[in-house]
Chain A
Amino acid sequence: MVRIPSTTWRTLAQRTPDKPLPRGVDAAWDAAVGIAKAFVPRRMRFLRRADRVLALEKEYRDRGSGRLREAAAEMRDRYRRGGDTDEILEHAFALVREVARRETGMSIFRVQVAGALALEAGCIAEMATGEGKTLAATLPATIEGWRGKGCHIVTHNDYLATRDADWMGSIYRFCGLRVAAIEQGMQSPDRREAYQADITYCTNKEVTADFLRDRLSLGRLQGLPSVLMAKIAEGAGSGTDRLVQRGLHFAIVDEADSILIDEAVTPLIISGEAPNPEQVEAFRQATCLAAQLDPARDFRVNQRYREVDLTPAGKDRLEELADDLGGVWAGARRREELVTQALTAREFYLRDKQYIIDEEEKVVIVDEFTGRLMPDREWRDGLHQAVSAKELVEVQSPKDTYARVSFQRFFRLYRKLAGMTGTAAEAWREFWQIYHAPVVTIPTNRPCIRQVLPDRVYATQGAKWKAIVKEIRRLHETGRPILVGTRSVRASEHLSRLLTDAGLDHQVLNAVRHREEAQVTAAAGQPGKITVATNMAGRGTDIKLGAGVADLGGLHVLATERHEAGRIDRQLFGRSARQGDRGSAQAVVSLQDELVRRHAPHLSASLRKRYGRTEREVGGPVSRHAFNAAQRRAEHLSLAQRKGVLRADDWLDEYLGFAGAEQ
């Protein structure tokens, strides 16, 4: 008889079976359940339970360190035995809370406990920035650690992962748990070690990549039964020994909206080089050919959907041009595809907006949402090559994909998923429909007194920038620090130039200068500071107000454009007036902004026509409505797109059963 340790099947544990997204009536029902659940007064329930946890404070407050440790060990045994009850949970929370107080010197507030309870219940907890999410997460993580199946705390970058693991490590260790962080560049034995820890801090990229690598090393063994069979048949040599992870049980996702929504459809790809000089040459030729086409006659540019269409005339012209090239240019389909791609790269992909050219002369993608550089990411379908060809830098062959999974699909595999973020309420529908996680808004510890002023609308970009500079000067003279959020690197550079011309001293924080991020962010709260930042630069770092700033009115946040997701506007605004400080925020927008041009094309066009090139403010209910409507449409569109991607994946899984399930 062969003995197979239970760890073998635990390593493959995940939510089974992976349910496809519901369709038809089922989907409507599911959405209705989501709406019904949105009305459940979870917040009050969690707050009441938090009160009960707080009431248990005394019980642990007076215990000596040794006795507390003993209590923790006992609690751990209880959880190992599977003794989960609500009462024990409250005691466990009270215990860990006390441990945290002693180890870090920080007290976990009532709202944090409520947030922790929400996480434990598998919800998405909306907790305002600066409210101590990291600390709150230790409560459910410790419980999960005690349960012994491992807990992943997923953060956005390596820095945060190691910092949090370090910072919170002592709490876990006190409770008899091992904690580890996964860092970029770790070797697999170390990784395995780290995943074996009870609590593992990691980035979404690393955890997903490790998952994919594990699946690759399993090769053709799909699913648990095959693996177990292989194990019996081949003994120790089978793929399971090479696995680094130990199953997907519980994940607490920090900045859940960014990871689970904004990056949801970004696929994580494990790929390898596949040199193909012919194809590389084809991309160069395509750029040349595209340059010879006439925009008026040969192709149409669709701003809204960011697409280029060749007209019949363009197709004929292309055939003529490519006549003597041969090879891939002989067939119409491939030819038109390549040139369309080259045109798309030229028309819609702008240097310093969607990408930059780094020191090694390579095209590096700039994340539109965060403004961060994404050196290990590439555009699909040869677009990256087309952009490289356009910039006349070295064109790399498209890589061969070995394995691929989108974050949205990956996180759906966890048996239990919880998330915390500053802004989730707007996306409750998506969190429910895709992750089946209800959103709970946890109140702030101290009431928020941020003043959000109504949008100021201008007819043209020029007028808008002028108004922004004027506004900055006005506020600067009061001595308040100002944070100006821009949507793209290009815009931040533009504003920086304008401010320099106006003689205003300022700091720029964007993807190109990401090394200085932390210092600049920390300093942004000093009196008289002007900081220009791409929307989400320095997310996760607090802007602490300098001395006397609060009396002046706190930090003022100025958004220079409305974002496609209202959530992200709120994130930017949320950088002011933290933890009950004073602060204000306002957006200055123009009718020529991309948001309204793309998502409310008719309304914005007629407004532009009406207001012409006037320089004065044109804000009114109609123009403001245009922005709100455009934002709603954009949000809707992207949700539909994300669901579409998931559906397409479901289809593939069903139809490509012979190729093995993706997971």
Chain B
Amino acid sequence: MPVDRPTFSESWYRVSNLRPRLRSTLQTHRQHYRGQMWHVLQDPSNNQFFRLNEAAYRFVGLLDGRRTIAQVWNVCNEQLGDSAPTQGEAIQLLGQLYTSNLLHGDMPPDAEGLFRRYKKRVTREVQGYMTNLLFIRIPLIDPDRFLDRFVGIFGVVFSWWGLVLWIGLLATGVYFIAGRAGDLVSRASSILDPESLPLLYASFVVVKVVHEFGHAFACKKFGQASGSGGEVHVMGIMFLVFTPLPYVDASSAWALRSTWHRVVVGAAGMFVELGIAAVAAVVWSQTSETTAIHAICYNVMFIASVSSLLFNGNPLLRYDGYYILSDLLEIPNLAQRSKEYLYYLVKRYIWRARNPRDPSHTKGEKGWLLFYAVASTAYRIFISVAILLFVSGFLPFVGVILAAVAVIAWVMVPIGKFIYYLISSGELMRVRAWAVTTSVALPALILGGLGLVPAPDPFYVKAVVEPVEMQIVHVGADGFLDEFLPSGRNVTPGGPLLARSVNPMLTARHEQLLAERREFVARRGAALVQEPAAVQIIEEQIGAVDEKLDRIRQQLASLQIRSPLAGMWVSPNIDRLKGAYLTRGQAIGLVATMDTLVVRAVAGQDVAGALMEDAAERVEIRMDGRPDKQIGGRIKQFLPAGGDRLPSPALSFPAGGPIATKPDDPTGTRTAERVFEIQVTPDPSDDVRLLAGQRVVIRFDTTPKPLLAQAKRALLQMLQRRFQI
């Protein structure tokens, strides 16, 4: 039929003369969502809920066991007009009520059907476990009587007084730790240390038990207040990523009429946890660092605030935050419906299917549904990958199995389902060709784009700038530094002295030798006359003194330090050395040619291979921290034989560089893994001045490769790093 909701159904005759009614034990609660009235049917025997809209409830409500369905339908049509359920919708509604065991027919019960449905449900639950191995729930106890007994005491927490008290508590907690924020942060990194894990986990369980009781008591309290009972019958253990944690089934909060009550039930866990965190903060700040209680309090504080808000408070995961958001937005079943809405949009606007069913009830919902669908999907993928990587970091083997399971459950199964849907869905009967085309074409286009269209494949490598020619200036002889040229001057070999030391001992010795020489010269003159035989000896003695003099003169000369080459005199600390005694061979600075610089980049093994193969000769150089400025450059040389020395400690990990160094090396330049050096000559540039010793980033361009190939390489490298394979 080309009509959205055909009034008549040919199966109507099967129900029209029946006189069913809702089971008498059902409780009905009226609720408002986004201005629309809804009725929630609660089955107290198994705490299941069934939500009906106004028209459907009118229809179901009129079924009293005496009127026939046909009579009721006619009444509804007269009263509600267009919004009355059509025959088809009425059949569907009755069928759903029946299969949820909410309908009491006037027929003998169909025992076989009952068992079939039960079996089906069990099968579905088992399937649910299998596909959701990371989140398994095992119900254990019924806490309802316990809650009944103590709700009078603990329920007070969820009152206005409780709120005031809570705010006070939080304020106190913050006050006590405010001064010790540094301590807090410094300890944070060690919280995941293996030896503290058991303690952390124990604290975690205790905090979470209290958290769950928070939900349970809140549910109980508001349930009792509003008359819906707020029964909580299931408490148990949930294996979250194989970690046993407590959980409680507070789904009877569904029956609460007030949105805010539902929100509070959802938030009760975090509310209580934050209270605990505040108490722990006070204790932590008042105990000494060595006590066990201090450590426990720190853990409790961490768990009850950070992890609680991050996990439970996150609306994109299916924990408390989600239910709070769903209640706040007044969109029940948000996750499911947002997904349906997304499908609806695709069906309607991309596939142009005929009369797809719009799962949104009001206009305002649409945006939220779309937003949530996109955000939660993206987040779910992200968190799943993160969990997998985290787990595989600890347990590589389990990680691989989990990854396989996850790929099957989250990728293969949905794809399979989607293909089955494409092939067999009645909705798509007419647009199937188009739907298949788009569903194949879109991924194909994306994959084709990623897999075939080459994209720039740059590598960014950190490097240091160094002059090409550079000479370190050493002191030639011991002496006190007397005069010096300030650092940063241009110097030439014939130019002014770089530094001049004085050594009074040398000077004195020079004087002394001169005097000795004079003495010998005088004695030679006398000997020439008096005893010619001695002249020879005196001559030799003069020669020895001359030799000594020469050495002293050289030493004196080397006290005056001249530049070894034309360039810039760099000695930033020289002014501190004035008057200091410099020993021979000590370096006091360097002279470097500033206009010819070389950039020395160091690449790890993962990058070097690719670069050596096909790096373009031209590169780009950017200042570290100033990405807007860049100059060109040219690869000068590859040093293909790797080494384990960095050209500068500035590239090492401790200094903020990318390369890990061996911690025991005092120079900080011995690398943990082999590295390869690439030297780059920067282009002369007026705009940007490279300075020797500066850290830069070099962008090496390689042959453009499709993104898929790049991703594959990155993934393989990551796996290799993780699993050492």
* Segment among B106-114, B472-480, B605-613 that sits at the interface with chain A: B106-114
Judged by a CB distance under 8 angstroms, whether B388 is at the interface is no
Residues of A near B5 (CB, < 8 A) are: 333
Judged by a CB distance under 8 angstroms, whether B684 is at the interface is no
Q: CB within 8 A of B12: which of A401, A403, A651? A: A401
Q: Is the CB of B7 within 8 A of A404?
A: no
Judged by a CB distance under 8 angstroms, whether B696 is at the interface is no
Q: Is the CB of B82 within 8 A of A403?
A: no
A276-313 near B? 1/0 per residue, CB < 8 Å: 00000000000000000000000000101101110000
**Chain A interface residues (CB < 8 Å from chain B):** 17, 24, 220, 222-223, 226, 267, 302, 304-305, 307-309, 330-334, 336-337, 340, 344, 380-382, 400-404, 637, 640, 644, 651-652, 654-662
Q: Which B residue sits closest to A220, measured CB to CB?
A: B107
B576-616 near A? 1/0 per residue, CB < 8 Å: 00000000000000000000000000000000000000000
A223 CA / B109 CA spacing, docked (Å): 12
B311-328 near A? 1/0 per residue, CB < 8 Å: 000000000000000000
Q: Is the CB of A308 within 8 A of B10?
A: no
Q: Can you list 9 A-B contacts (CB < 8 A)?
A: A220-B107, A333-B4, A333-B5, A381-B1, A652-B91, A655-B94, A655-B95, A658-B105, A660-B110
Q: Is the CB of A222 within 8 A of B110?
A: yes
**Chain B interface residues (CB < 8 Å from chain A):** 1-8, 10-15, 18, 20, 81-82, 86, 91-92, 94-96, 98-99, 103, 105, 107-108, 110, 112-113, 116, 420, 426, 429-430
Min distance, Cβ A640 to any Cβ of chain B, angstroms: 7
Q: Is the CB of B105 within 8 A of A644?
A: no
Residues of B near A640 (CB, < 8 A) are: 429
Q: Is the CB of B10 within 8 A of A401?
A: yes
Q: Which B residue sits closest to A226, measured CB to CB?
A: B108
Q: Which B residue sits closest to A658, measured CB to CB?
A: B105
Residues of A near B95 (CB, < 8 A) are: 651-652, 654-656
A336 CA / B98 CA spacing, docked (Å): 32
Q: Is the CB of B10 within 8 A of A381?
A: yes
Q: CB within 8 A of B81: which of A309, A330, A402, A661? A: A330
Q: Is the CB of B107 within 8 A of A267?
A: no
Q: Is the CB of B430 within 8 A of A305?
A: yes
Min distance, Cβ B73 to any Cβ of chain A, angstroms: 13
Min distance, Cβ A98 to any Cβ of chain B, angstroms: 48
Residues of B near A344 (CB, < 8 A) are: 2
Q: Is the CB of B113 within 8 A of A657?
A: yes
Q: Is the CB of A336 within 8 A of B3?
A: yes
A331 CA / B96 CA spacing, docked (Å): 27
Q: Which of A302, A309, A334, A651 has the most CB of B within 10 A?
A: A334
Residues of A near B4 (CB, < 8 A) are: 333
Residues of A near B429 (CB, < 8 A) are: 637, 640
Q: Which of A344, A402, A403, A655 has the most CB of B within 10 A?
A: A655
Q: Is the CB of A404 within 8 A of B8?
A: no
Q: Is the CB of B10 within 8 A of A659?
A: no
A309 CA / B1 CA spacing, docked (Å): 10
Q: Is the CB of B98 within 8 A of A655?
A: yes
A637 CA / B103 CA spacing, docked (Å): 37
Q: CB within 8 A of A657: which of B10, B82, B91, B110? A: B110
Q: Which A residue sits closest to B114, measured CB to CB?
A: A657
Residues of A near B6 (CB, < 8 A) are: 337, 381
Q: Is the CB of B107 within 8 A of A380?
A: no
Q: Is the CB of A659 within 8 A of B18?
A: yes
Residues of B near A17 (CB, < 8 A) are: 112
Q: Which of B2, B105, B113, B420 has the most CB of A within 10 A?
A: B2
Q: Which A residue sits closest to B111, measured CB to CB?
A: A225
Min distance, Cβ B436 to any Cβ of chain A, angstroms: 14
Min distance, Cβ A623 to any Cβ of chain B, angstroms: 21
Q: Is the CB of B107 within 8 A of A658?
A: yes
Q: Is the CB of A659 within 8 A of B420?
A: no
A304 CA / B430 CA spacing, docked (Å): 10
Residues of A near B1 (CB, < 8 A) are: 337, 340, 381
> Do A659 and B81 form a contact, CB below 8 Å, given A222-B107, A337-B3?
no
Residues of B near A308 (CB, < 8 A) are: 2
Q: Is the CB of B2 within 8 A of A333?
A: no
Residues of B near A267 (CB, < 8 A) are: 10
Q: Is the CB of A657 within 8 A of B98?
A: yes
Residues of A near B426 (CB, < 8 A) are: 644
Residues of A near B7 (CB, < 8 A) are: 333-334, 337
Q: Is the CB of B81 within 8 A of A331?
A: yes
Q: CB within 8 A of A309: which of B2, B18, B82, B113? A: B2
Min distance, Cβ A547 to any Cβ of chain B, angstroms: 53
A304 CA / B433 CA spacing, docked (Å): 15
> Do A656 and B91 form a contact, CB below 8 Å, given A331-B82, A401-B12, A662-B14?
yes
Min distance, Cβ B109 to any Cβ of chain A, angstroms: 9
A662 CA / B13 CA spacing, docked (Å): 11
Residues of B near A402 (CB, < 8 A) are: 13
Residues of A near B112 (CB, < 8 A) are: 17, 223
Q: Is the CB of A24 within 8 A of B2?
A: no
Q: Which A residue sits closest to B95, measured CB to CB?
A: A655
Ranked 3 nearest A-B pairs via Cβ: A655-B95, A658-B105, A401-B13
Residues of A near B18 (CB, < 8 A) are: 658-659
A305 CA / B2 CA spacing, docked (Å): 10
A345 CA / B95 CA spacing, docked (Å): 32
Q: Is the CB of B10 within 8 A of A654?
A: no
Q: Is the CB of B20 within 8 A of A658?
A: yes
Min distance, Cβ A306 to any Cβ of chain B, angstroms: 9
Q: Which B residue sits closest to A380, measured CB to CB?
A: B10
Min distance, Cβ A466 to any Cβ of chain B, angstroms: 35
Residues of A near B92 (CB, < 8 A) are: 655
Residues of A near B94 (CB, < 8 A) are: 655-656, 658
Q: Is the CB of B110 within 8 A of A658?
A: yes
Residues of B near A305 (CB, < 8 A) are: 430
A131 CA / B325 CA spacing, docked (Å): 74
Q: CB within 8 A of B2: which of A330, A340, A657? A: A340
Q: Is the CB of B10 within 8 A of A382?
A: no
A401 CA / B400 CA spacing, docked (Å): 60
> Do A659 and B108 form a contact, CB below 8 Å, given A331-B81, A380-B10?
no
Min distance, Cβ B124 to any Cβ of chain A, angstroms: 13
> Do A659 and B105 form a contact, CB below 8 Å, given A336-B3, A337-B3, A652-B91?
yes
Residues of B near A302 (CB, < 8 A) are: 2
Min distance, Cβ B12 to any Cβ of chain A, angstroms: 7
A247 CA / B99 CA spacing, docked (Å): 30
A333 CA / B430 CA spacing, docked (Å): 23
Residues of B near A656 (CB, < 8 A) are: 11, 14-15, 91, 94-95, 98
Q: Is the CB of A381 within 8 A of B8?
A: yes
Q: Which of A24, A305, A380, A660 has the most CB of B within 10 A?
A: A660
Q: Is the CB of A652 within 8 A of B96?
A: no
Residues of A near B91 (CB, < 8 A) are: 652, 655-656
Q: Which of B15, B107, B430 has the most CB of A within 10 A?
A: B107
Q: Is the CB of A333 within 8 A of B82?
A: yes
Min distance, Cβ A600 to any Cβ of chain B, angstroms: 12
Q: CB within 8 A of B113: which of A307, A382, A403, A654? A: A654
Residues of A near B116 (CB, < 8 A) are: 654
A588 CA / B112 CA spacing, docked (Å): 56
Min distance, Cβ B16 to any Cβ of chain A, angstroms: 8
Q: CB within 8 A of B103: which of A334, A380, A403, A658? A: A658
Q: Is the CB of B3 within 8 A of A340?
A: yes
Q: Which of A24, A304, A334, A657 has the most CB of B within 10 A?
A: A657
Q: CB within 8 A of A403: which of B13, B96, B107? A: B13
Q: Which A residue sits closest to B11, measured CB to CB?
A: A652
A156 CA / B13 CA spacing, docked (Å): 28
A644 CA / B429 CA spacing, docked (Å): 11
Residues of B near A381 (CB, < 8 A) are: 1, 6, 8, 10
> Do A404 and B13 form a contact, CB below 8 Å, given A226-B108, A659-B107?
yes
Residues of A near B8 (CB, < 8 A) are: 381-382
Residues of B near A403 (CB, < 8 A) are: 13
> Do A658 and B98 form a contact, CB below 8 Å, given A222-B107, A340-B2?
yes
